[in-house]
């Protein structure tokens, strides 16, 4: 018997530095404390398992996101709740998740680029590459290349907003606690209605 009737996945998407990782961790801690069978999948960490020496090319990014969705789908099939954390800048990436995962929701963590830049700079060593935005903006202005720096979402490529996202929350306007509270309120009602 398939576990799909109990399993579900929520994907926290948005710009690097938008606060999606902090939000996903907060939701995970809350749900785990409630006794729910939840698993957190973070794209930055999973990518290094999929590609031990990542190049961050467009092709590699597409493959990594497909593998990320497939991994989440397998966990959902086992009846688990999966909290996915990854930018997923293309709507097609999230559409693929919707096709593979019957009980799926997208939480778009909206954040102004200027605020995301500040937050990313204050993260220890950057989750992907240190000073991600600063280097991308410098490259855009001067043409200087940086090893390991692929296309940067918000600078080199746009984040594609999906009008069908189940929750769009502006993380520029709210405190971390308010963002977490609003997201948990949404997820509590969403999980019981699907």
pLDDT tens digits, one per residue of 142-177: 988 888 788 888 888 899 999 999 999 998 888 889
Judge whether 148 lies within some domain.
no
How would DSSP label each residue in 86-154?
Answer: ----SHHHHHHHHHH-SSEEEEEEE--HHHHHHHHHTSTT-SSSTTHHHHHHHHHHH----TT--PPBT
Judge whether 171 lies within some domain.
yes
Judge whether 121 lies within some domain.
no
pLDDT tens digits, one per residue of 32-43: 999 999 999 999
> Where residue 59 sits, what CATH number does that domain have?
3.40.50.300
Which of 93, 67, 70, 106 lies closest to 157 in space, CA to CA?
A: 93
Which of 115, 60, 106, 67 lies closest to 87 in space, CA to CA?
A: 106
Judge whether 81 lies within some domain.
yes
Q: How many domains does the chain have?
A: 1
Judge whether 140 lies within some domain.
no
The answer to whether 182 and 169 have CB atoms below 8 angstroms apart is yes
Per-residue confidence at 92, pLDDT binned at 50, 70, 90? very high
Judge whether 125 lies within some domain.
no
| Run of H or E including 38 | strand 38-42
* Full domain range(s) for residue 54: 8-111+158-193
DSSP 8-state secondary structure symbol assigned to residue 43: H
Judge whether 143 lies within some domain.
no
Question: How far is 105 from 111, CA to CA, in rounded Å?
Answer: 19
Six-digit token pair at 58? Answer: 């467009």
pLDDT tens digits, one per residue of 132-144: 888 888 888 898 8
Judge whether 124 lies within some domain.
no
The model carries a pTM of 0.91
């Amino acid at each position: 018997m398939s576990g799909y009737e109990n399993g579900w996945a929520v994907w926290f998407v948005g710009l690097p530095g938008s606060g999606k990782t902090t939000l996903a961790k907060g939701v995970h801690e809350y749900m785990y404390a409630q006794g729910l069978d939840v698993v957190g999948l973070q794209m930055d960490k999973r990518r290094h398992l999929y590609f031990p020496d990542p190049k961050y090319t467009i092709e590699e990014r597409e493959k990594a996101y497909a593998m990320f969705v497939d991994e989440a789908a397998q966990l959902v099939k086992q009846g688990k709740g999966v909290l996915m954390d990854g930018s997923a800048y293309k709507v097609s990436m999230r559409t693929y998740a919707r096709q593979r995962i019957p009980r799926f929701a997208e939480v778009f963590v909206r954040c102004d680029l200027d605020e995301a830049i500040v937050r990313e700079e204050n993260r220890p060593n950057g989750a992907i590459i240190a000073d991600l935005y600063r280097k991308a903006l410098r490259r855009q202005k001067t043409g200087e290349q940086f090893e390991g720096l692929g296309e940067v979402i918000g600078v080199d490529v746009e984040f594609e907003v999906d009008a069908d996202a189940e929750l769009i929350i502006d993380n520029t306007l709210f405190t971390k606690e308010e963002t977490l509270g609003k997201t948990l309120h949404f997820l509590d009602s969403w999980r019981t209605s699907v």
